[in-house]
Amino acid sequence: MQISKGSTDYRIYRILSEKQASGEKLGKELGITRTAVWKAVQKLKENSIQIESDANGYRIIGEKELNPYMVARIAFENGFEEIHFYDVIDSTNTRAREYGKPNVLFFANRQTAGRGRHGRRWVSDEGGLYFSITLSPPLDYTDLPKLTLIAGLSVAESIPDTEIKWPNDVLINGRKVCGILSELHGEVERPLVIIGIGINVENPAPENGISVSELFDISRKEVFELVLRNFSKNYRMLLNGSWNELRKEIERRCSTIGKKVRVVTSSDVIEGIAESIAEDGSLVVNGRKIYAGDCIHLR
Ligand code: BTN
């Protein structure tokens, strides 16, 4: 389902999240008929919002799990304009690419064809977080990889005891808790950037992976809200020219630095000590800059 900021159902959800209100009052506040209010309330009910009504009007009762409207609230508070929520879908990155508009968030409870980097599969069972955001940033083409790096930073800032494996895997105790797949779509002058984030939260983690819930008592909602908040903060910093500060924070959290690594790029295999994250976001290995590749920590 699709939710936009100005839709009647979303506006009613926001009012009822704050207070109990009658159909008449809601109608007056939004300038719509009581029938329109009733229809919107039915839509909320059909989409996992528990609403009770008594003599004082409608009220929302207990919202425990992440529901479409909660996802929408968190997304809208962090600069997005529209959300698409699916219980099950092939891949949120694929949906985002097909839709082709910026500032939209695609969220799924499960994916049947979750995609990872380098053509790999991303197992997307219930309990994990799977979402993609679309942006059309006013940045130079060569600066776009920085967005992927700040996405990794944002996840690392949101979950305790994490480290970043260059370019943007997030690990706990050397095991992967989050993967990020960034894709570009459209014109080179102003491409659509799609950042897909998969986080093992309450799902059983695949081999060599780890789930947040194995170690911490943090819900999907909390992780999702923190990641979006941190991403929006870091994105603003990037656009405001604070890249160097972000780069230092990424470098500080990046466990690849100082390790012996093997990086497989599209044309080469480079082995050596990872020295730093350069000003342009590349990984420096033996004095050589690497812009993209699959990185293995050797020791
Ligand atoms: C990786 O290989 O580490 C990247 C995994 C990215 C998975 C996420 S889940 C949401 C989005 N939709 C996809 O199909 N992939 C990304």
Question: What is the model's pLDDT at position 194?
Answer: 98
Query: Atom 9, ligand 1: which residue's CA is nearest?
Result: 198
CA of 128 to the centre of ligand 1 (A): 11
- Counting from 1 in the atom list of ligand 1, the atom nearest the Cα of 92 is 12
Q: What is the DSSP letter of 64?
A: -
Q: What is the pTM of this model?
A: 0.95
Cis previous bond, 138, omega within 30? no
Residue with tokens 């097909």: 98
- Counting from 1 in the atom list of ligand 1, the atom nearest the Cα of 114 is 14
Residue 25 sits at φ, ψ, to 5 deg, of: -65, -45
Ligand 1: list residues with CB < 6 Å: 91-93, 111, 114-117, 120, 122, 130-132, 169, 179-181, 196-198
Question: What is the model's pLDDT at position 279?
Answer: 94
CA of 115 to the centre of ligand 1 (A): 5
Q: Is the CA virtual torsion 105, 111, 116, 122 positive or negative?
A: positive
CA of 207 to the centre of ligand 1 (A): 16
Contact criterion met (CB below 8 Å) for 83 and 2: yes
Query: Atom 11, ligand 1: which residue's CA is nearest?
Result: 196
Query: Atom 2, ligand 1: which residue's CA is nearest?
Result: 116
* Structural domains present in the chain: 2-63 (1.10.10.10), 68-253 (3.30.930.10), 260-297 (no CATH)
CA of 270 to the centre of ligand 1 (A): 25
**Which of 97, 126, 197, when mutated, tests ligand 1's pocket best, judged by the most ligand atoms within 8 Å of its CB?**
197
Burial zone of 54 (CB within 10 Å; 0-12 exposed, 13-18 middle, 19+ buried) = exposed
Burial zone of 65 (CB within 10 Å; 0-12 exposed, 13-18 middle, 19+ buried) = exposed
Question: What is the model's pLDDT at position 133?
Answer: 98
Over its length of 299 residues, how does the chain's per-residue pLDDT go in tens digits?
Answer: 999 999 999 999 999 999 999 999 999 999 999 999 999 999 999 998 999 999 999 999 988 889 999 999 999 999 999 999 999 999 999 999 999 999 999 999 999 999 999 899 999 999 999 999 999 999 998 899 999 999 999 999 999 999 999 999 999 999 999 999 999 998 878 899 999 999 999 999 999 899 999 999 999 999 999 999 999 999 999 999 999 999 999 999 999 999 999 999 999 999 999 999 999 999 999 999 999 999 999 97
Question: What is the model's pLDDT at position 39?
Answer: 95
Question: What is the model's pLDDT at position 64?
Answer: 80
Angle at 94 between CA 88 and CA 97, to 5 degrees: 135
Question: What is the model's pLDDT at position 188?
Answer: 79
